[in-house]
């Protein structure tokens, strides 16, 4: 096996850097997942998760990626023939569409509200479709679309959906713990997230919260996933304080510690820090003469997407960043491959991580023939504000 370089600075949109206390927590002894000790750990971690979601709704931890929680949200609420509205302006919004097609069927009952990749969804467009299709059962949206560096106005969309019979399902995988999310205030019926983004825990754990309105639908839905049956999770948690299947004990330790760190910093402080880092990143790229991909009104506070200057190769640029500087950046996805790069600034990202990365980007671009300068200074000035 090739020797791995474990020293890379992760400036990608996840997985993110993980605090040492979170990593060391996973060295705790394994305990039985059907014991009272694990039950105590599960309850404590779940209650902390609810605080970060800002919800009173039922909340469950899943051993699986954020996509497992997306699958759970759809498989428990959608039967064949049901009408679903998927708001899509990136790769992960499109993932909700693909999952919906599996459970609702391949007909025109699954509606894709396609937006320009790089811009946010319009609440008025959502309202128009709901007016025309009052039998829509589920509406899905991704809050923070990491594939494009765009965030959608989930509070405003929630205010639209609440006036209809549809359930409102939101993916906050790359925003929860970094950008403002208030599940109950935003009228979200099912909210999903993952461990490895703003929460800054290792990959492999997801979480989902479910409203009373959603339970009414779940209890009437015939289609179910075996592993991701929400009613099974509820039954096990309510009656035995357990998960229905073997959970990752080590990842539960990690999530518990990571959520402690989030709550100790404070959600408001965390939102402000992410916003400050985003503004500094944008100022730095603009000073270098680079063009941002996402529109100004829709820019994420956890990841920034940048268009490549002409004649700059994605492979060469990110190769230099990785091999010379030990910094990982992400490329574009789907039709944006080779056209943009993406820089994450979420989780435990600090100012020095940001400034060091911007400095390395300047050097890499200059090495490849694009004159870039002033980015670090511009970011510093923004950070002073």
Q: How confident is the model at residue 34, as a pLDDT? A: 98
Judged against a pLDDT cut of 80, whether residue 1 lies above it is answered with: no
Q: Give the pLDDT score at 265.
A: 98
This prediction has a pTM of 0.97
* HEC sequence for the chain: CCCCCCCCEECCCCCCCCCHHHHHHCCCCCCCCCCHHHHHHHHHHHHHHHHHHCCCCEEEEEECCHHHHHHHHHHCCCCCCCEEEEEECCHHHHHHHHHHHHHHCCCCCEEEEECCCCCCCCHHHHHHHHHHCCCEEEEEEECEECCCCEECCHHHHHHHHCCCCCEEEEECCCCECCECCCCCCCCCCEEEEECCCCCCCCCCEEEEEECHHHHHHHCCCCCCCCCCCHHHHHHHHHHHCCCCCCCCHHHHHHHHHHHHHHHHHCHHHHHHHHHHHHHHHHHHHHHCCCCECCCHHHECCCEEEEECCCCCCHHHHHHHHHHCCCEECEECCHHHCCCEEEEECCCCCCHHHHHHHHHHHHHHHHHCCCCCCCHHHHHHHHHHC
Under the banding of pLDDT at 50, 70 and 90, the label for residue 6 is: confident
pLDDT tens figures, 283-321 = 999 999 999 999 999 999 999 999 999 999 999 999 999
| Span 50-65, average pLDDT | 98
Q: What per-residue confidence (pLDDT) applies to 125?
A: 98
pLDDT at 4: 73
Mean pLDDT of 167-187: 98
């Amino acid at each position: 096996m090739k020797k791995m370089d474990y020293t890379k600075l992760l400036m990608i949109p996840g997985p993110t850097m993980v605090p040492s206390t979170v990593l060391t927590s996973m060295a705790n002894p394994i305990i039985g997942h059907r014991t009272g000790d694990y039950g105590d750990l599960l309850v404590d971690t779940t209650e902390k998760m609810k605080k970060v979601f800002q919800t009173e709704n039922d909340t469950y931890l899943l051993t699986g990626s954020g996509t497992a929680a997306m699958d759970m949200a759809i498989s428990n609420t959608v039967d064949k023939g049901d009408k679903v509205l998927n708001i899509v302006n990136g790769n992960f919004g499109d993932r909700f569409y693909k999952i919906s097609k599996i459970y609702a069927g391949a007909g025109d009952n699954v509606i894709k509200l396609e937006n320009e990749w790089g811009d946010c969804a319009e609440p008025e467009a959502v309202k128009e479709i709901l007016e025309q299709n009052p039998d829509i059962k589920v509406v899905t949206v991704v809050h923070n679309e990491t594939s494009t560096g765009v965030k959608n106005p989930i509070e405003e969309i929630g205010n639209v959906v609440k006036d209809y019979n549809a359930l409102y399902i939101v993916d906050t995988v790359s925003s929860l713990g970094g950008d403002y999310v208030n599940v109950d205030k935003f009228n979200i019926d099912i909210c999903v997230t993952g461990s490895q983004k703003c929460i800054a825990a290792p990959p492999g754990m997801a979480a989902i919260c479910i409203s009373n309105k959603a339970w009414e639908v779940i209890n009437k839905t015939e289609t179910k996933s075996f592993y991701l049956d929400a009613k099974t999770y509820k039954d096990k948690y309510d009656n035995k304080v357990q998960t229905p299947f073997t959970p990752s004990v080590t990842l539960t330790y990690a999530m518990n510690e990571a959520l402690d760190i989030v709550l100790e910093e404070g959600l408001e402080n965390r939102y402000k820090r992410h916003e400050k880092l985003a503004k500094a990143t944008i100022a730095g790229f603009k000073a270098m003469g680079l063009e941002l991909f996402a529109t100004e009104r829709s820019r994420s506070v956890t990841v920034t997407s940048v268009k490549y200057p002409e004649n700059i190769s994605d492979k060469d640029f990110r190769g230099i960043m990785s091999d010379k500087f030990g910094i990982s950046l992400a490329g574009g996805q789907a039709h944006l491959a080779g056209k943009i790069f993406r820089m994450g600034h979420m989780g435990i990202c600090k100012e020095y991580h940001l400034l060091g990365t911007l400095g390395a980007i300047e050097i890499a671009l200059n090495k490849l023939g694009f004159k870039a300068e002033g980015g670090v200074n511009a970011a510093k000035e923004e950070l002073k504000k």
